[in-house]
Copies of this chain bind each other. A is one copy, B any other.
Amino acid sequence: MKITKPTLLIDEEKCRNNIRLMAKKAKNNNVIFRPHFKTHQSHIVSNWFRDEGVSKITVSSVSMAKYFIEDGWYDITIAFPFNVLEINDIINISTEVALNLVLESIEVFNFLCSELTRPVNYYIKIDIGYHRTGLQLSQIDEIINLIQLGDKEDKLNFKGLLAHFGDSYNCKSENEITEVYQNSLKELLILKDKLSAYCEDIMISIGDTPTCSIINDFIGVDEIRPGNFVFYDSMQYQLGSCSFDSIAVAVACPIVAKHKERDEIVIYGGSLHLSKDYYIDSNSIKSYGIIAPYSMKWDKYFENSYVKSISQEHGIISIDKKYMDKIDIGGIVLVIPAHSCLTSNLLNDSLII
């Protein structure tokens, strides 16, 4: 395949290695490995998980669940507050697969009781401080209520507490990520202990790529659900979740202009391809991605060079002066995207290498 426009390159060997390492870590810790498939949304990549013995998966939407059911996956957690408007799909899906939903309110629980035709499992979403979704630790009465209601209902089986330690994304070092993990898990285990009078068997399901990548000891945890680690990206590299070598995706982008006077090059590769997600790097610079020389094995990158701004189709790269002579109009550079989940969602025609 000749590359003529922005193209996602997926390094199969690196992906398989990333999957293998995480699967092994889960096994060593005796925790269930239920990877999040929102990162790749791909039947092909999902088969690489199968090859490592994965049979339980996480998705973030009903549409994504349907996509993977088509491909034979049969044990699925939809890690998103249940959307009651999609009840008909859920009823259909529940006849085919073992389904785990995520709840945080009595009204959604009651709605499901009245509508479901077959049993599904549910986790209660707990907000450990990230304040995106979930019941807070202080809302223990609601949590107890949601557990006790499950005891009386055949159609809804309580499985456990589900949390996302999203604050790990705001960390600046491995130590900070470890601290977020330890503090968050501690809170969750205190909660579990308080709830033990109401339920003996409460699973603890957690999962974000920074903590799952850095932490080696998952004592107290029953299940991990990381997603991004299959690809990683420059945001994860910046966070310290991965080495540069383990980043398994890059976007090959045509070089369309050079502006030597300001040490910039322009690529065909914009928000339609990379997404508008960015991170603040260690020099306090907003970066939409790291730049690497074009190669099917990106093992080094251009120092002090990054995607500094982005339009619908344009990427503006600030490049270290010393590399300018290596840059040719009509050539290609690689962008290691800031956020691989969004980039892979945008670039469907990927090239697996």
Q: Which residue of B lies closest to A310 (CB)?
A: B277
Bound-state CA distance A309–B88 (Å) is 29
Segment among A100-108, A193-201, A214-222, A239-247 that sits at the interface with chain B: A100-108
B-contact bits for A322-343, CB 8 A (1 contact / 0 none): 0000000110100000000110
B-contact bits for A265-281, CB 8 A (1 contact / 0 none): 01010011001110000
Given contacts A86-B4, A256-B81, contact A329 B277 (CB under 8 A): no
Q: Which A residues form the contact surface with B (CB < 8 A)?
A: 2-5, 38, 60-63, 80-86, 88-89, 104-105, 107-108, 111, 131-133, 136, 254, 256-259, 261-262, 264, 266, 268, 271-272, 275-277, 309, 311-314, 316, 329-330, 332, 341-342, 345
Contact of A133 among B61, B62, B133, B266 (CB under 8 A): B266
Report B-chain residues with C-beta under 8 Å of the C-beta of A266: 81, 132-133
Q: How far is the CB of A71 from chain B (nearest CB, A)?
A: 20
Bound-state CA distance A329–B109 (Å) is 12
Q: For chain A, what secondary structure do more than half of its interface residues adopt (helix, strand, loop), or is it mixed?
A: mixed
Given contacts A133-B266, A257-B105, A266-B132, contact A342 B85 (CB under 8 A): no
Bound-state CA distance A2–B86 (Å) is 10
Given contacts A111-B330, A133-B266, A313-B61, contact A80 B256 (CB under 8 A): yes
